[in-house]
């Protein structure tokens, strides 16, 4: 028999063998640097590969018998006693050279004190207890190994723990780690000190990872085309290889609440680079998509890129009320309830919330603060619902350019129904899983799809229980103007054809193309004469409320410009945080790091923003606070 003792578990400790009914230790020459005996021990115990071994009593001296003194093990022996040895009880070393081993199954890695599993203080579990990793020269190479080992993609930053997540307490597990950056695990790096040690925590380390998954091309970091990190590159995912359980895991990993919908682009023209091979087998409860099982592709082709719509809000409720369908609007963001600022809150937003609660249409938006200010934070997020969304999380939300919220100016709503009238509770609702946004047969809705945001894209209409495209034969600016107005997206700037946003899939909606431009919605436009559709579907619209960004002067270098209210304008360097450059580079697909520099513009253009205060780890520029437009 074989065992490891005093190591905090069955896979780490001093090596002992049992002979003639008595346990005894194993010693070895200190020049046996190959230590193939350790490989035999870990394999014999079913504890994985060797992480560390030593002949210098790493787990204390044994007492009593020394049963074995092996030498020149090959490493493929089935049992330790199958290695050459001098005989049971015969040895040329004492207890001062009792060997110990740590196998892979005994060591764990985690990031603690962060906002999720992919950012925090680096901690390693040794001898059954968690401890920190101390290194005054901690760098991106070590951080890269940590992030890849945890399934969190590449490293975004390597930091002293005290500056980002707080210093640890208790023991120190590892000291002075030197990695090349391509090691499979942290223990494959050169490690000077294996603990646990007692000492000060001034040199504790931390990392921020980019994450294994990201959503790109949407209004914010919580909706868009799914891309996964594979080595040093981002890869797309086929829409046929993603289900709602995997989408829930992605949304949770990104701190974006629940998955509202999985959609596809219906085309392969968007995105670049390779595709992820196969899909995922998730229960839906995993913290990271990389923790899900993998499955082979169930189809040969790929009809389009998978896109996910998450809700960044994990709950909605009406507070400080006597009737459940009236009150102060509160939302829950990453576990914290707070009131919503009334500055950008209007009737279409209220209508979506009332319908979501089952409280009928909204009848009024009371003045800000009508139901008190609440005790939590006052979120300045500005919803831009069109009024037909089935869930408040579907509405685009912006923080960029929104003015500061006056104290106590909390949004409120009066819905037309009451709990008593409906026989259901409407006071609090959490986000609800769904394969697609709930669209009852017979309801009519319009959206802009496959574009950079909700205010630019291919026009799609929901009718007869399915989404369809619009014929582009007679589509022009007045038609686009009606769609932009209906969606609350301002005025029409362009009415492109299918070459811009693709032809789409689904049936053609026949009743479009003859608007005058003054109608309230496309439903009020006169039906065109029946003449077929020669050019097919794919009519599009680009509206003035669409926010876009670019770097003037080059794709990944130049003056930062934003498209707002139909015009490109600059962002002033005044008060803009260094992390803003990282967010812009990621959003443009130009890498994960950037550098700000103040430089005079060569051409005259409006200055749209200043004091853009993105924080490290922000998902989208649109979610960063700033001075007003």
**Residue-level pLDDT at 329:** 94
Where does 2-105 sit in CATH, by number? Answer: 3.10.250.10
* DSSP bridge pairs for 80: none
Query: Lowest-confidence range among 56-70, 91-105, 276-290, 452-466?
Result: 452-466
Query: Does the structure show a pLDDT above 60 at 309?
Result: yes
For residue 196, whether the previous peptide bond is cis, meaning omega lies within 30 degrees of 0, is: yes
Q: Which CATH class is domain 107-209?
A: alpha beta
User: pLDDT tens-digit profile of 610-621?
Assistant: 888 887 766 678
pLDDT at position 429 is: 55
pLDDT at 602: 64
User: How do residues 134-179 score in pLDDT, each as one tens digit?
Assistant: 999 999 999 999 999 998 888 888 999 998 899 999 999 999 999 9
pLDDT, mean of residues 515-536: 78
Q: What is the CATH number of domain 213-310?
A: 3.10.250.10
The residue ranges of every structural domain in the chain are 2-105, 107-209, 213-310, 315-430, 445-543, 548-623
Q: If pLDDT is split at 50, 70 and 90, which confidence band does 78 have?
A: very high
Q: Provide mean pLDDT across the span 433-458.
A: 59
- The b-or-e profile of 401-419 (16+ CB within 10 A means b, else e) is bbeebeeebbbbbbbebeb
Asked if residue 244 has pLDDT above 50, the reply is yes
**pLDDT reported for residue 162:** 93
Is the per-residue pLDDT at 506 higher than 50?
yes
Q: How many CB atoms lie within 10 A of CB 554?
A: 10
What average pLDDT does range 185-214 have in this prediction?
92
pLDDT in tens, 325-358: 999 999 987 678 999 998 888 887 888 899 888 8
User: In CATH, which superfamily holds the domain spanning 445-543?
Assistant: SRCR-like domain (3.10.250.10)
Mean pLDDT score, 3-27: 93
Contact 219, 453 (CB under 8 A): yes
pTM, two decimal places: 0.58
Instruction: Give per-residue pLDDT as tens, 20-35.
Output: 999 999 999 888 778 8
Paired sense of beta strands 12-19 and 382-383, if any: unpaired
Q: What is the pLDDT of residues 582-598, one digit of tens each?
A: 888 877 777 777 888 88
| Statement: residue 73 has pLDDT above 70 | yes
**Residue listed under structure tokens 């609660």:** 357
DSSP 416: S
According to DSSP, the residues that pair with 205 across neighbouring strands are: 160
Q: Phi and psi (nearest 5°) for 179?
A: -115, 155
Please classify residue 112 by burial: count the beta carbons closer than 10 Å to its beta carbon, then call 0-12 exposed, 13-18 middle and 19+ buried: middle
CB 411 within 8 A of CB 329: yes
CA distance 492 to 24: 84
Least confident of 198-212, 230-244, 271-285: 271-285
Q: Which pLDDT score is estimated for 169?
A: 92
Work out the number of other CB atoms within 10 angstroms of the CB of residue 94.
11
Give residue for tokens 């989404």: 467
Topology of 548-623 in CATH? Mac-2 Binding Protein (3.10.250)
Residue 191: pLDDT band (50, 70, 90) is: very high
Phi and psi at residue 351, to the nearest 5°: -60, -45
- pLDDT value of position 442: 36
CATH architecture of 315-430: Roll (3.10)
């Amino acid at each position: 028999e074989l065992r490891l003792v005093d190591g905090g578990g069955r896979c780490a400790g001093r090596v002992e063998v049992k002979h003639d009914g008595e346990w005894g230790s194993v010693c070895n020459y200190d020049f046996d640097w190959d230590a193939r005996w350790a490989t035999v021990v870990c394999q014999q115990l079913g504890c994985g590969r060797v992480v560390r071994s030593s002949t210098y009593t790493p787990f204390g001296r044994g007492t009593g018998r020394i049963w074995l003194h092996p030498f020149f093990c090959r490493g493929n022996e089935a049992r330790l006693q199958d290695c050459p040895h001098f005989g049971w009880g015969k040895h040329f070393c004492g207890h001062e050279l009792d060997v110990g081993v740590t196998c892979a199954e005994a060591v764990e890695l985690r990031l603690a004190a962060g906002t999720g599993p992919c950012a925090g203080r680096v901690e390693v579990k040794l001898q059954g207890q968690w401890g920190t990793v101390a290194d005054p020269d901690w760098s991106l190479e070590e951080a890269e190994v940590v992030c890849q080992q945890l399934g969190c993609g590449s490293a975004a930053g390597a930091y002293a723990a005290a500056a980002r997540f707080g210093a640890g307490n208790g023991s120190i597990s590892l000291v002075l780690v030197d990695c090349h950056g391509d090691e499979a695990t942290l223990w494959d790096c050169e490690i000077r000190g294996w603990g646990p040690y007692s000492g000060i925590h001034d040199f504790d380390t931390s990392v921020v990872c980019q994450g294994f998954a990201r959503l790109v091309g949407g209004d914010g970091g919580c909706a868009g085309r799914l891309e996964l990190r594979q080595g040093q590159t981002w890869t797309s995912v086929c829409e046929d290889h993603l289900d709602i359980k995997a989408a829930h895991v992605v949304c949770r990993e990104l701190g974006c609440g629940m998955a509202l919908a999985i959609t596809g682009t219906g085309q392969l023209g968007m995105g670049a680079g390779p595709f992820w091979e196969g899909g995922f087998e998730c229960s839906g409860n995993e913290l990271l998509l990389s923790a899900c099982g993998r499955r082979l592709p169930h189809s040969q082709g790929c009809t389009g890129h998978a896109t996910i719509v998450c809700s960044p809000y994990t709950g909605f409720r009406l507070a400080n009320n006597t009737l459940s369908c009236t009150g102060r609007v509160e939302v829950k963001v990453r576990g914290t309830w707070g009131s919503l600022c009334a500055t950008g809150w209007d009737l279409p937003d209220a209508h979506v919330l009332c319908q979501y609660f089952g409280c009928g249409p909204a009848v009024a938006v009371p003045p800000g603060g009508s139901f008190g200010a609440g005790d939590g934070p006052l979120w300045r997020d500005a919803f831009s619902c069109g009024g037909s969304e089935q869930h408040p999380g579907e509405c685009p939300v912006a923080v960029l350019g929104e003015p500061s919220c006056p104290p106590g100016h909390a949004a409120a709503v009066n819905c037309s129904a009451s709990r008593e009238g409906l026989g259901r509770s409407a006071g609090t609702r959490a986000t609800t899983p769904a394969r697609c946004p709930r669209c009852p047969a017979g309801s009519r809705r319009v959206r802009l799809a496959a574009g950079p945001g909700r205010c630019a894209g291919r026009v799609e209409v929901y009718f007869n229980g399915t989404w369809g495209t619009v014929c582009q034969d007679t589509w022009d600016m007045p038609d686009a103007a009606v769609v932009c107005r209906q969606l609350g997206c301002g005025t029409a700037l362009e009415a492109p054809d299918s070459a811009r946003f693709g032809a789409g899939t689904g049936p053609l909606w026949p009743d479009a193309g003859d608007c005058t431009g003054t109608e309230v919605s496309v439903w009020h436009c006169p039906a065109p004469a029946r003449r077929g559709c020669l050019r097919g579907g794919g009519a599009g619209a680009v509206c003035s409320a669409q926010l876009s960004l670019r770097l003037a002067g080059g794709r990944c270098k130049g003056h930062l410009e934003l498209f707002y209210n139909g015009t490109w304008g600059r962002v002033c360097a005044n008060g803009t945080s260094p992390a803003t450059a990282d967010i812009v580079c990621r959003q443009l697909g130009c890498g994960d790091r950037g550098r700000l520099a103040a430089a005079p513009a060569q051409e005259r253009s409006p200055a749209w923003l200043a004091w853009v205060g993105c924080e490290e780890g922000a998902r989208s520029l649109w979610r960063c606070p700033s001075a007003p437009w």
